[in-house]
Amino acid sequence: MLDAPEILEMMTRLRAAYPDARLPRSKGGRDPFRSVVSCMLSAQSLDRNTAAASKALFALADTPEGILALEDAQIVAAIKPCGLYNVKARNLRKMCRAMLDEHGGTVPRDRKGLMSLPGVGRKCADIVLSFTFGEAVVAVDTHVHRVCNRTGLAQGRTEAQTAASLEDRIPDAFRRDGHLLILTHGKRVCRARSPRCDECILADLCETLRET
């Protein structure tokens, strides 16, 4: 894997290359419960489909009590655009019940507490910590997982393993915007299919290219 000076150089280049990769600002702050629900719905779903499902569900209810009061068919119909709707509907109910029974209806503000909620894995927990609570955490999704393992920034067979590896290696100065910087590079250049290696600003640092 890359050493510390190489990692610092890589992240510095990404920040310079993607000045538009900024943490989004939400007027009045982000609602923690909505953030958890939207993140759960985003699993294996395109952003636009997740947005459509979230909007439809929140038009019906946007509290744990409100969602539990809905019929299963109502939840399924609302979240259908994001796929896996039957499984997600069950997890939403379990998550809402656990939040009420174990956390007094309040979204936990730590990773352990968030991951104790049914349907909430490390990726979702870290996204909520970073984007909602402003914690210096680099969430690892499929794009970040891919870029990390290709370049040698971090390694892991799963996104959770890569997240644990990256947490120990990412410079402190990049913990707030690291997720968006790496994600943006993964979407624009280091793509899953047909990566644009010939124009990559990290080509001389990339472990995969060094091995070819």
Active site residues: 123, 141
Q: Which residue has the tokens 């104790």?
A: 116
Instruction: Please choose, from the candidates 49, 75, 72, the residue with its C-alpha nearest in 3D space to the C-alpha of residue 62.
Output: 75
Query: How far apart are alpha carbons 173 and 163 in whole angstroms?
Result: 17
Query: How far apart are alpha carbons 58 and 188 in whole angstroms?
Result: 31
User: 178-188 and 142-151 are packed helices; what angle lies between their axes, rounded to 10 degrees?
Assistant: 80
Classify each residue of 44-71 as buried b or exposed e, where b means 16 or more C-beta atoms within 10 Å of its C-beta. ebeeebbbbbbebbbeebebbeebeebe
